Amino acid sequence: MSNWPRSLIYILLVAMFGVFPALAASGDTSDEIVHDERFWDQLFVDAVHSREACNLDFKPCRAPLQKRVEDYYLRVRGETKFLSDEVAEAASRSLTRVIEDIYRTTGLRPIQGVPEHASNFIFLLFFNEEEYQSDPENYILARIAPPTLRFSEKRLEFFSWFRSSHLDCTLVTTPYPDGIIRDVQIWIKVDVSTEVVSNCIAEEFFNSFGLDDTPEFESIFDWPTVVDGEIADGKLTERHLSFLRRLYEPEMIPNQAEEATWALIR
């Protein structure tokens, strides 16, 4: 689409130096819950240590803390394949806002491009089924299993499932034993609404920095996030950013056990 900046990452660098409807709340949104720090402490620990799927085996688990420790390379592909200019513009705005929010909160910034042997990156793919069908083999090589990515047969299985699933977007990664987040793929389908693409970008980027969905909530936008009058609407609220800020405190060490996380927040 012509409205997507050709050099989006460059624009972001100059400016700075998932899936679900946006919901204001889910379940009990009483003041007792919103202002109960015990509730938020538990949700934070769950977001840090719960995993929707471990090692691409589609099974949830509890895991040691995972986070990034350095600036990351960012590559965006498929940004010209949206079905409307409106969705392309919404995606561009959302990506700009989310990256700026994450940089302001964690101090980690994107680096343009991905060197040949880089392992520390986010590969954002806007998936277009028609483009894939035109040349599946080359599409897989260029977009799903590029040379820069640790290859896994399960990744191809997951991609095949994702294409026909009800999901609008997903995050794909394989955890490292040291708890440091490195290579991540985010897949977002192009045949979505402006609201969905904005939610997907915000949620999957949030997840890619070490905070996953929790057993109680399928999406970060299902949290009771009516805080200071702010409602989640395709962007990260101050509550979401406070979780990122807490996770990226120096005392939170990659690969630490859940008990250590509790000890730091009590």
For 115-154, b where at least 16 C-beta lie within 10 A, e where not — what string? Answer: eeeeebbbbbbbbbeebbeeeeeebeeebbbeebbeeeee
Query: Residue 5 is encoded by which pair of tokens?
Result: 């900046």
- pLDDT given for residue 147 in this prediction: 67
> Are residues 168 and 121 in contact, defined by beta-carbon separation less than 8 angstroms?
no
pLDDT in tens, 91-148: 999 999 999 999 999 999 999 877 777 788 999 999 999 999 999 999 998 898 876 6
- According to DSSP, residue 187 is labeled E
What is the C-alpha to C-alpha distance for residues 47 and 231, in angstroms, rounded to an integer?
A: 19
Judged against a pLDDT cut of 60, whether residue 31 lies above it is answered with: no
State the burial class of residue 57 (Cβ atoms within 10 Å of its Cβ: 0-12, 13-18, 19+). Answer: exposed
**Strand, helix or coil at 68?**
coil
Identify the pLDDT of residue 218. Answer: 67
**CB contact at 8 A, 113 and 77:** no
Does position 220 have pLDDT exceeding 50, yes or no?
A: yes
41, 49, 102, 126, 199 from 26: Cα distances, Å: 18, 21, 24, 28, 16
pLDDT number for residue 264: 96
Neighbours of 47 (CB within 10 A): 22
pLDDT per position as a tens digit, 41-97: 998 999 999 877 665 556 678 899 999 999 999 999 999 989 899 999 999 999 999
Model pTM score: 0.82
For 202-215, the pLDDT digits (tens) are: 999 999 999 987 76
Q: Phi and psi of 206, rounded to 5°? A: -55, -50
Span 143-168, pLDDT tens digits: 988 766 665 677 888 899 999 999 99
Chain centre to alpha carbon of residue 89: 19
Per-residue pLDDT at 118: 79
> Do strands 121-127 and 72-77 pair parallel, antiparallel, or not at all (unpaired)?
parallel
